[in-house]
Amino acid sequence: MSNPILETAKKAFESRFTVDYPDFRETLPDNYRGIHRLDMKTCINCSACAHICPNQTITMVTAETERGPKVFPEINLERCLFCELCEEVCPTKCLVLTKNNELEAYDRRELIKRPEELE
């Protein structure tokens, strides 16, 4: 049986080490869900990602392409739950969650990412 006092002391000792970010970064698990990446070339503009999103995080906005204006997902990362439903439902797998977790910003509006910024 473990000793709670020893366990607490062990955790306190372990937590005194911090990572010297950004020179060093923690290794993230393979299934980590971070900021999205969108491939605008393979997106078929179906809006399925926007419809499935449980937190109304995705808005379909118009962006210019070689084939003329099309609608693509714009993502408000401030509202995102990182649940991955948008990736699961995407029929062409052009929208995926990456391991990028750098969400710092000086202005909340910077967390609203247009399709071009997600490429």
Q: Is 118 in the site for ligand SF4 (CB under 6 A)?
A: no
CA distance 79 to 28: 22
* Tokens coding 2: 């473990």
By C-beta, is 8 or 55 nearer to ligand SF4?
55
CA distance 26 to 114: 28
DSSP character for 51? H
| x/- track of binding to ligand SF4 for residues 68-97 (CB under 6 A) | -----x-x----xxxxxxx--xxxx-xx--
Q: Is 65 in the site for ligand SF4 (CB under 6 A)?
A: no
CB of 38 to ligand SF4, least distance (A): 6
Question: What are the angstrom distances between the C-alpha of 15 and each of 4, 8, 26, 54, 95?
Answer: 16, 11, 14, 35, 35
Among 46, 63, 96, 111, binds ligand SF4 (CB under 6 A): 46
CB of 47 to ligand SF4, least distance (A): 5
Q: Are 118 and 36 in contact (CB under 8 A)?
A: yes
User: Where do we find the tokens 């808005």?
Assistant: 59
By C-beta, is 7 or 110 nearer to ligand SF4?
110
| Interacting residue ranges for ligand SF4, rule: CB under 6 A | 43-49, 52-55, 57-58, 73, 75, 80-86, 89-92, 94-95
